[in-house]
Amino acid sequence: MLFFLASIQFLVLIYIILYEYKQGSASIFLWTMNLIVIGVGGILAIIIEPKYSFDTYIKGYIFSILFMSIYIITRVILNSFSKKRLIKRIQENLIKNNEIYINQIFKVLALLSFLLFIMYSLRMFGNIFEVTWSNYVYTRPELFSFEYFLSFFSQQFRFIAIPILFIYIYKKQKFQFFIYSIFLFLPFIFTRDRVQILPFFVIIILIFYVKNKKLTIGLIAKYFLLGVFILVFLYAFRIYRFYGSLHNFIDKFNYDVFYEQVSNLFKTNNGELGLIDAYYYFIENDNNFLGFGQMATYNRMLLFFVPTQFSFGLKHSDFAITMYSAYFNNYSNTVGSMHPTLIGDCYANAGEFGIFLGIFWAFFVKIIDLICYRRNILLSIFLTITWSYNYIIMARGAVYNGFINSIYTSILISLVFYFFKSRKKTKKKYYIQN
């Protein structure tokens, strides 16, 4: 019975991915990640040392299937009113017009992001080769200090500029791609923050998408192999993170030990495929935890523009921290965060009524596709890539983080495009008058 429901859940996820692929929606990244963490993770949960009761798994599968059914029904209804297909439009425009040029400002921002990261690391940690993931994530500079702005602008400039790599790959400009990949992704080697590598994988997958009009068996095989590679890479990088600094990794690296450590993550279902465990833990305990069932994630999304400390209590605190405290029974926790997949986050926010959040996500996906559907095809590409890699973050269960990252980056990208477009028009008008 459990395996039957797990299989139904998996097949529904496959159907949604194929539907969104046909619709040309950026949400294929949301649902492909859901396929991994919910579909595959949900099957492994009952194969590798089941931890919870039979009823818990039954309830978990039924909740997930109902949520996804409500989502896809709502999506079909919404799409009947609009025929705009985001990625299909990008594909058609790239085929018709290969002369798409990147404004120099994005190249400058890529270089600046790298230089600011070096400055920040030296000021905060003294030696870039001694930077560890934990001190990078948990060592926070004082608010509005010089180091704070170095960190902020380094990250923002990087995420604004990353989509230029898509154009370089598409136009086969290998030298430019190599140089700017160094600027944009070398910090990832030092910080071990896996979020920073996600845009690269998204860009590769989008290249496959826009260069192939039809979804063939061969293309599906390529997507599958790429997906397996990405998953193994993320697991391997998690082990790399455990070594601490780059200097320590170089000193102590042993291939056999490293391979065994990565294999153990798969064998113990520890990693991306084990995120769903928290979802079942919440079900097992009937969501009976402090701060649960209050729609905290969606409250924060609604009030994203208001800093929590200035919201007079209207904006909930970070629900990811609340879920971590509940999962590990550590209510003194202030920094640890739990990401129990999108489904787990929905259940923790609304209990059994969380299935109706499928309606919210159907509208959300539709709105984001429309936001990314711009007349300026380059702006459309930049926004699509931004939301695509953040969809992966949301699918893992870091819903608010993925949402707020997308909002800020989209606003900054749009401002850069608007500023230079306005500047170009002003210059043109000046030359005509003179």
Across 94-102, average pLDDT: 72
Say if residue 257 is exposed, middle or buried (CB neighbours under 10 Å; 0-12, 13-18, 19+).
exposed
pLDDT-derived band at 289, boundaries 50, 70, 90:
very high
The rounded percent of the chain whose pLDDT value lies above 70 is 95
Average pLDDT over all residues of the chain: 88
Spatial separation of the C-alpha atoms in residues 261 and 64, rounded to whole Å: 31
User: Which comes out higher in pLDDT, residue 412 or 241?
Assistant: 412
pLDDT in tens, 227-246: 888 888 888 888 888 887 77
User: Are 402 and 112 within 8 A, CB to CB?
Assistant: no
pLDDT on residue 240: 85
Across 309-326, average pLDDT: 90
Both tokens assigned to 357: 């959040």
Whether the pLDDT of residue 277 is over 90: the answer is: yes
Q: What is the dihedral of CA 222, 226, 228, 229, to 10 degrees?
A: 140
Across 188-214, average pLDDT: 86
User: Which comes out higher in pLDDT, residue 288 or 336?
Assistant: 288
Question: Hey, where are the domains in the chain?
Answer: 1-434
Across 151-157, average pLDDT: 90
pLDDT-derived band at 307, boundaries 50, 70, 90:
confident
Q: What is the dihedral of CA 99, 103, 107, 112, to 10 degrees?
A: -170
84-93, 128-137, 245-254, 410-419: range with lowest mean pLDDT: 128-137
pLDDT in tens, 45-66: 998 878 899 999 999 999 999 9
pLDDT on residue 424: 58
Range 287-293 contact pairs with CB under 8 angstroms and sequence separation of 24 or more:
287/347, 287/348, 287/351, 289/322, 289/326, 289/348, 290/322, 290/325, 290/326, 290/331, 291/316, 291/317, 291/319, 291/322, 291/326, 292/322, 292/326, 292/348, 292/349, 292/351, 293/348, 293/349, 293/350, 293/351
Closest CA to 208 of 232, 196, 226, 194: 226
89-98, 99-108, 423-432: range with lowest mean pLDDT: 423-432
3 state SS for the chain: CHHHHHHHHHHHHHHHHHHHHHHCCCCHHHHHHHHHHHHHHHHHHHHCCCCCCHHHHHHHHHHHHHHHHHHHHHHHHHHCCCCCCHHHHHHHHHHHCCCCCCCHHHHHHHHHHHHHHHHHHHHHHCCHHHCCHHHHHHCCCCCCCHHHHHHHHHHHHHHHHCCHHHHHHHCCCHHHHHHHHHHHHHHHHHHCCHHHHHHHHHHHHHHHHHHCCCCCHHHHHHHHHHHHHHHHHHHHHHHHHHCCCHHHHHHHCCHHHHHHHHHHHHHCCCCHHHCCHHHHHHHHCCCCCCCCCCCHHHHHHHCCCCCHHHCCCCCCCCHHHHHHHHHCCCCCCCCCCCCCHHHHHHHHHHHHHHHHHHHHHHHHHHHHHHHHCCCCHHHHHHHHHHHHHHHHHHHHCCHHHHHHHHHHHHHHHHHHHHHHHHHHHHHHHHHHHC
Amino acid present at 400: Y
User: Are 391 and 33 within 8 A, CB to CB?
Assistant: yes
Whether the pLDDT of residue 430 is over 60: the answer is: no
pLDDT-derived band at 222, boundaries 50, 70, 90:
confident
pLDDT in tens, 337-385: 899 999 999 999 999 999 999 999 999 999 999 999 988 889 999 999 9
Whether the pLDDT of residue 98 is over 70: the answer is: no
Does this model's pTM top 0.85?
yes
pLDDT in tens, 69-91: 999 999 999 998 877 888 888 88
128-137, 169-178, 193-202, 383-392: range with lowest mean pLDDT: 128-137
pLDDT-derived band at 269, boundaries 50, 70, 90:
low
Across 234-263, average pLDDT: 83
User: Are 417 and 363 within 8 A, CB to CB?
Assistant: no
The rounded percent of the chain whose pLDDT value lies above 90 is 53
